[in-house]
Amino acid sequence: MSKPSLARGTRDFGPEQMVKRTFIFDTIRRTFQRFGFQPLETPAIENLSVLMGKYGEEGDQLLFKILNSGDYAAKLTEADWQQDARQFTTKISEKGLRYDLTVPFARYVVMNRGTLSMPFKRYQLQPVWRADRPQKGRYREFYQCDADVVGTSSLLCEAEIVMMLHGILRELGLTDFTVKINNRKILTGIAEVIGAQGQEGTLCVAIDKLDKIGKEKVLAELIERGFSPESCAGLEPLFALASEQAPFAELRSWLATSDVALKGIDELEEVWQLVEGFGLENPQMQFDVTLARGLSYYTGAIFEVKVNNVQIGSISGGGRYDNLTGTFGVPGLSGVGISLGVDRIYDVLEELSLFPDDQAITTRVMLSHFDAAAARYGLKVLHQLRQAGLNAEMYPDAVKLKKQLDYADRKRIPYVVLIGSEEMQSGKLTLKNMQTGEQKSLTSEEIIAELKR
């Protein structure tokens, strides 16, 4: 008999963890709805033709592919077996698990564009899968919470993303965080200025790793990928600007010969002005010229959120994409979105002890009884409690009171109603406070009033 085990990079979530996760989901969902976003769900499985080519070379390698059903190898030839892994995979797999929620969303928009009111604002809370190397804060199965607006190029959407992020994180109890912002047009302009025009994709992939591997290894990777030493030397201003809060004047001076970079700077400045117009108190946003985001479909603003002084990567990321639906035959639909990683947020809140204490309580009151007659009497009381909106349960077996109270204590149930022969005769039940030990003799109506106070 084999010993049960979990697949690496996945986790079980027991009741205590699920209550905390629900707290995160509910906070995010409320905020998304407050900003006018509508709910959407898409299948876990997508055709590989939908997924491939949307995430860059590295992203394609991290897609979980699903073997074709049946005898998937029956039609393979000897030549097929000699092909490289990428070519071979297309012969035995037509579907894969979704890598993110943005590409499936773009597919949905294209397939349903005739029925959608544009601009279309949707949010989505579902799991995604990546064949990554598991480590702290990085899992193979994890939830994303996405909010996207498609069908408008207004920079008001970028500013509202900044506002939503501040609202969600502060409501979760996080105070020391930074919303980092860049613009892909600036990165394109940098590639032009250093003489590496057309190689901005390679540049973005490399500098996106700056905070993980450092400047020297980033430059070494660029050299390895074909950048000249002169182009790498031209990146020095980028590293010097990395710690500046909003160095727009310095950027304009460095990138003055690139029209596309200047447009990106203009867009960033407008986002800053719009956020200021909202009157956000103590905005925690910072321009980061090294922020690249590895995904190849971003064309404008790029976002990333880091919680400071915590050894976990970014908890949120996103950006503007002008051409994503174009890959499905519908060009010209600009969109912008943000994704929050629930699993990383959970780890951060756990590390900082920010979950509310009462989040572990799912049952508010438990009914305890001593025999079948008391159990039958308690059924009506149990129904009354639930009808009043109170989470209530009855211990199922007529066992010793200590065992029933131990059960309530382990579940952190704050109140227990004791039902015995004396209580049934008088109509007054005993309400026990499990924390203080205090007991009161009350009618069921008075118990409801006491617990809802």
The two tokens of residue 290 are 């090294």
Q: Binding residue per annotation — 143?
A: no
What is the rounded CA–CA span in Å between residue 298 and residue 23? 31
Q: Binding residue per annotation — 11?
A: no
Q: Binding residue per annotation — 344?
A: no
What is the rounded CA–CA span in Å between residue 179 and residue 307? 9
Q: Binding residue per annotation — 297?
A: yes
Q: Binding residue per annotation — 293?
A: yes
Pairing of strands 141-150, 45-47: unpaired
What is the rounded CA–CA span in Å between residue 434 and residue 413? 7
Closest CA to 318 of 167, 137, 182: 182
Q: Binding residue per annotation — 130?
A: yes
**Phi, then psi, of 374 in degrees rounded to 5:** -65, -35
Closest CA to 168 of 201, 197, 145: 145
Q: For 276, how many CA atoms within 13 A lie in the half-sphere containing its CB?
A: 6
Q: Binding residue per annotation — 102?
A: yes
The region that residue 264 occupies, defined by phi over 0 for left and psi between -120 and 50 for alpha, beta otherwise, is: alpha
E strand or H helix that includes residue 186: helix 184-193
Residue with tokens 């928009």: 109
Cα Rg of the chain, angstroms: 28
Residue stretches of the annotated binding site: 100-102, 130, 144, 148, 293, 297-298
Residue stretches of the annotated binding site for L-histidine: 100-102, 130, 144, 148, 293, 297-298
